[in-house]
Structure 1
């Protein structure tokens, strides 16, 4: 063993000597001038005066040319092309939705009705009703309530039209007298000229109004088809909505299922709370304004209250416009003093709704800034008319809840029926 160690030591010394000899034989590699390496070689840490430092490569650059572009400009360009792609995709989706709006709008209305009627179905299920029977009873009961209300409104309106027409003529004559004797002091010739201009404008736009009416008559089949689709979709949403949602969630990757399921169920709860709160607020608005209409003996009190109820489904704007109609009817029927009182009642009810009912009933879960509500309603009117105005605010509320849940860093709670498999420690 000692001899082997000695031989290994001598072999290592011989290798070191041969290495130094080879280094002395090639002086160009050690910094000494030679034909192959003229001049001393610079050390790695040396700095060459007058030379431009190489451009630093960034993780966001793919070539040296990108480093010549300022970082802020590269970030702005990256944002721009991504926004362009998002805009193109959004435009394509809007075109698709506009093309199949005859299907999208009934399905949206069916979802709103399902969110409204779902608690009633749940009560019947707790009473041990079969699911199909509970859904049918709730759907038929809701349909009967809507048809009965519309029948009462139409009958009362038909009965009061002659009286309202007569009072409207009297109101027009009072306005003409006020224009003559009031601060404007208009003459008969001026009044006749303005009346003739208004009549000419109506005659000139008769064709447009008629074509609109014909177009409306032509879409009667589409309305009937949409109504049937709403009824069928509402029935199946109420009966099989949970199974439909599970099927859609299972189409997603496994890693995203829990997050999407949590966001979807929270959004559905928000939609249900919004619809039920809106119905309650609309009912309170209609009762409040209707009481004043009855007290001052305004004609069409019940139809006007029903109009306020329907208009309240368009937040901020709808109830105000329906209240203006009630004020105009009061002006024609009972004069300016009563109209001012009804206007004050409408404004008071709106203030109570905005500052008491909305925060108290809807709560923080569906709280939306008024600016977002106004912008959403305007966009909905431009894109889909009245239906867009009705759907805009609940859509914003649902998207608000979904985005908040998806952006949250917390992990959703484990479902009660989940099975957790744990490996045994080694």
Structure 2
């Protein structure tokens, strides 16, 4: 070996490790290097690449990605705004579904309202059917007897009310004329001191209003006559639905429950039966409170010899089925009749009687009788009645409060974490251990 070759070999052995370390520090131009490699700039890599563990001074830390976010954009939105947006679109969906349900109910109200009335009648008559069944009556016979007896009671009461009303109309008309003259005299000599010209002007304005709205009143009467067929159809549907609810209510409910998933059947069955018990208790309590109101006001109407005492008491009884406001409005009719027939003093006494009965109902009867059946706040009752009147008139006011009571019980049962008791007729099949 020549001297030159020996010098080249020594240089390679001296500078080889350093060159190899420099080569390793350079980034791979085609990206074949590992993620831990870094180095100086090159044409393929314009600058050094910091390893993942490196901390760059002055740089902002990356935003923490919450478990509920699906992208970096969601992480940049404040948490409160994300929660508000999530609630907003869910509420919009619920509102849209509720609006669609209301439209459907409004479209088929001719069927929905009779079914709701049939449920209330079934809850009222179900205890009587139970008594006859315990007396060994066949189910169909017991249901027929109770339904026919209820219809006879209603028809008899209406017949008596109408006959009393027809009998007392002539006398009431004469007393009404006298009452109108007394009111005119009071307007002249009372604190208002109205003149004859002012009275005549007000009377002329009232007559003009009646003449201008005659077409509207006539069209309303025609519309009422046009809906007579719907009313008759609804009455027939109420009778048939009540009969089958009383006779086959259990079978109908079991059929509906079987349509649900197996895991939800027991829970829904427990909530439905509890809701039915609430409805029965509500109807019983309402009937008892209405009867006490009618008897209390009717006794004073008889004592002061007010005409239509029995029809007015029946009106108070029917009005009491609309809580809080029903008995007050029907009692107001009794006060007006007393004013026309017997003068302002007797009318004030009857007004005091109506107010006293309302106080007894609100502070004694409602907490003692109704409070045991359903626990609903008075504000919820008022809102429910107002919404029912807007949606379905008098029928809506009648059905709204029991509907709220049933939904209250159903939601409480469904939200409870307790497991319903096993029905006595249930068949439990135990699987063999593997």
TM-score by length of 1: 0.91
**Residue equivalent to 2:253:** 245
Structure 2 unmatched ranges of 5 or more: 1-17, 29-37, 41-47
2:49 is the counterpart of 1:51? no
Match of 2:293 among 279, 285, 291: 285
Structure ID, larger Rg: 2
Aligned mates of 2:50, 2:217 — CA distance in 1:
91
Q: In structure 2, do the counterparts of structure 1 residues 28 and 354 end up closer, same or farther at CA, with 3 Å as the change threshold?
A: farther
Structure 1 unmatched ranges of 5 or more: 1-23
Q: Render the CA deviation track for 1:211-243: whole Å, top value 9, x for unaligned.
A: 111111111111111000000000000000000
Q: In structure 2, do the counterparts of structure 1 residues 204 and 46 end up closer, same or farther at CA, with 3 Å as the change threshold?
A: same
Q: Render the CA deviation track for 1:362-413: whole Å, top value 9, x for unaligned.
A: 2344121111111111111111111111111000000000111111111111
Tell me the CA shift for residue 361 of structure 1. 1.3
Q: Render the CA deviation track for 1:243-299: whole Å, top value 9, x for unaligned.
A: 000000000000110111011000010011101110111011000000000000000
**Residue equivalent to 2:124:** 116
2:355 is the counterpart of 1:369? no
2:39 is the counterpart of 1:38? yes
Aligned mates of 1:175, 1:232 — CA distance in 2:
50
Tell me the CA shift for residue 68 of structure 1. 1.3
Aligned mates of 1:76, 1:335 — CA distance in 2:
62
- Judge conservation of contact 1:359–1:367 (CA < 8 Å) in 2: no
2:164 is the counterpart of 1:156? yes
**Residue equivalent to 2:324:** 316
**Residue equivalent to 1:340:** 348
Q: Render the CA deviation track for 1:136-191: whole Å, top value 9, x for unaligned.
A: 00000000000000000000000000000000000000011111111111111111
2:334 is the counterpart of 1:326? yes
**Residue equivalent to 1:350:** 358
CA RMSD of aligned residues (A): 2.0
- Judge conservation of contact 2:121–2:242 (CA < 8 Å) in 1: yes
When structure 1 is superposed on structure 2, of 126-135 and 49-58 the one drifting more is 49-58
When structure 1 is superposed on structure 2, of 79-88 and 150-159 the one drifting more is 79-88
Q: Helix, strand or coil: the match of 2:375? A: coil
2:94 is the counterpart of 1:83? no
Match of 1:411 among 404, 412, 419: 419
**Residue equivalent to 2:398:** 390
- Judge conservation of contact 1:164–1:333 (CA < 8 Å) in 2: yes
Tell me the CA shift for residue 423 of structure 1. 4.3
**Residue equivalent to 1:165:** 173
Tell me the CA shift for residue 50 of structure 1. 2.3
When structure 1 is superposed on structure 2, of 391-400 and 60-69 the one drifting more is 60-69
- Judge conservation of contact 1:27–1:34 (CA < 8 Å) in 2: no
How many residue pairs get matched? 402
- Judge conservation of contact 2:285–2:373 (CA < 8 Å) in 1: no
- Judge conservation of contact 1:112–1:275 (CA < 8 Å) in 2: yes
When structure 1 is superposed on structure 2, of 353-362 and 169-178 the one drifting more is 353-362
When structure 1 is superposed on structure 2, of 81-90 and 143-152 the one drifting more is 81-90
2:175 is the counterpart of 1:174? no
Tell me the CA shift for residue 27 of structure 1. 5.5
Q: In structure 2, do the counterparts of structure 1 residues 35 and 191 end up closer, same or farther at CA, with 3 Å as the change threshold?
A: closer
Aligned mates of 2:366, 2:140 — CA distance in 1:
34
Tell me the CA shift for residue 420 of structure 1. 2.5
Tell me the CA shift for residue 337 of structure 1. 0.9
**Residue equivalent to 1:68:** 76
Tell me the CA shift for residue 71 of structure 1. 1.0
Q: In structure 2, do the counterparts of structure 1 residues 28 and 174 end up closer, same or farther at CA, with 3 Å as the change threshold?
A: farther
Aligned mates of 1:406, 1:227 — CA distance in 2:
34
Match of 1:272 among 244, 255, 280: 280
Aligned mates of 1:48, 1:247 — CA distance in 2:
69
Aligned mates of 2:256, 2:217 — CA distance in 1:
45
Aligned mates of 2:72, 2:342 — CA distance in 1:
82
**Residue equivalent to 2:12:** none
- Judge conservation of contact 1:293–1:301 (CA < 8 Å) in 2: yes
- Judge conservation of contact 1:286–1:306 (CA < 8 Å) in 2: yes
Match runs of 1:221-232 below 5 Å: 221-232=229-240
Aligned mates of 1:26, 1:374 — CA distance in 2:
89
2:183 is the counterpart of 1:184? no
Q: Render the CA deviation track for 1:84-103: whole Å, top value 9, x for unaligned.
A: 11111111110110010000
Q: Helix, strand or coil: the match of 2:55? A: coil
